[in-house]
Amino acid sequence: MREFLKSVNRIVVKIGTSSLIHPNGKINFSGIDQLAFVLTDLRNQGKELLLVSSGAIGVGMDKLNLRERPQEIPIQQAVAAVGQSELMHIYNQRFLGYSQQTAQVLLTRDVVDFPESRSNVINTLEQLLSMGIIPIINENDTVAVDEMDHTRKFGDNDELSAVVSQLMAADVLIMLSDIDGFYSDNPTKNQQATLYSAISMIDQTLLEQAGSEGSRFGTGGMLSKLKAAQRVLAANSTMVLANGKPPRIIFDILAGDEIGTLFKEGSV
């Protein structure tokens, strides 16, 4: 059923904060290094990769020795500014270890909502891909706030990854989280919860099963992943939600293995 994944070419990978930061708040260097290895190897196979990465605030919290995520917007933005710089330094170091060039792209919602700037974003990303460079994309957390009718925020990087997938007409969005896929209930609280292998349509029942909580280092919960999947399905594309620990699971997903939850029209 997933044999088609073997032939996909343009891939958006979204990595969540929980895959980049250990539960104790420290940076998961081995996970980041493995992610760099996997994406570089796929790039060496001729595939086009775009990485949407969370983690700016989580890395900033570690850098500034903060135990709890700040609640005030200006402090969050300051922490994100510190964390984004450090996160890109780590990514650059890890990817260059495999001779892979990366580029940072920071977006806000208004940039992709206006036709001219939207075209510029697409042109920039297309050019980077044509040069064999892996764009590392994040929301510009230092300026992204909602101001009256001027919406600048995507909401979270789950939605951002779906927007990027849509903008770039990606063959598949691989969303890596800290859970094995989409369950009928929270599997950490309900042992009877069942994993959905494939979902072709998102209805109110699924939205209610999703809940809403994210981690203390990130913002996205299962509900945000379902909303991202809604956008992907509406674009007649494909998304796979799987556990990103370890990132090597991307190889298995692209080999067509029955891993995580596949979101695709007609998949059920």
Q: Say whether pLDDT at 218 is over 80.
A: no
Least trusted range by pLDDT, from 76-80, 173-177, 255-259: 76-80
DSSP string, the chain: --GGGGG--EEEEEE-HHHHB-TTS-B-HHHHHHHHHHHHHHHHTT-EEEEEE--HHHHHHHHTT-SS---SHHHHHHHHHHHHHHHHHHHHHHHHTTT--EEEEEE-HHHHHSHHHHHHHHHHHHHHHHTT-EEEEEE-TTT---BTTB----SSHHHHHHHHHHHTT-SEEEEEESSSS-BSS-TTT-TT--B-SEES---HHHHHHH-----SS----HHHHHHHHHHHHHTT--EEEEE-SSTTHHHHHHTT---SEEE-TT--
Region for residue 115 given its phi and psi (left: phi exceeds 0; alpha: psi -120 to 50; beta: otherwise): alpha
Place of tokens 């073997």: 6
Q: Which residues are annotated as a binding site for ATP?
A: 14, 177-178, 219-225
Model pLDDT, residue 168 = 96
- What does the alpha-carbon distance between residue 7 and residue 3 come to, in Å, rounded to a whole number? 8
Annotated binding site: 14, 54, 141, 157, 177-178, 219-225
pLDDT band with cut points at 50, 70 and 90 for residue 208 = confident
Q: C-alpha 118: how far from its chain's center?
A: 20
* pLDDT attached to residue 199: 95
243 CB-near residues (< 8 Å, 6+ apart): 176, 177, 178, 179, 180, 181, 249, 260
pTM of the shown model: 0.90
Within 8 A by CB and 6+ apart from 154, the residues are 107, 108, 109, 139, 144, 160, 163
Residue 144 near residue 108, CB atoms below 8 Å: yes
At 248 the pLDDT is 96
Q: What is the pLDDT of residue 115?
A: 87
Domain boundaries, the chain: 3-263
**Could you give the dihedral angle defined by the CA atoms of residues 139, 214, 224 and 177, in that order, rounded to the nearest 10 degrees?**
80
pLDDT at 150 > cutoff 60: no
Peptide bond into 115 cis (omega under 30): no
Annotated binding site for substrate: 54, 141, 157
Give the chain's radius of gyration (CA, Å).
17
Give the number of C-alpha atoms closer than 13 A to the C-alpha of residue 211, restricted to the C-beta side.
14
| Spatial distance between the Cα atoms of 229 and 262, rounded to a whole number of angstroms | 10
The neighbour count for residue 130, using CB atoms within 10 Å, is 9
pLDDT, position 151: 47
**Residue 211: pLDDT above 80?**
no
Longest dimension (CA), the chain: 50
Q: Is the pLDDT of residue 255 over 80?
A: yes
Residue 153 pLDDT: 56
Confidence of residue 217 (pLDDT cuts 50, 70, 90): very low
Report residue 142's pLDDT band, with 50, 70 and 90 as the boundaries.
Answer: low
Given a cut of 60, is residue 82 above it in pLDDT? yes
Alpha-carbon distance of 100 to 35, in angstroms, equals 12
Confidence of residue 154 (pLDDT cuts 50, 70, 90): low
Q: Is the pLDDT of residue 220 over 70?
A: no
The CATH number of the structural domain formed by 3-263 is 3.40.1160.10
pLDDT of residue 221: 74
Average pLDDT, stretch 48-73? 92
Higher pLDDT, 47 or 208: 47
Of 193 and 152, the one with more pLDDT: 193
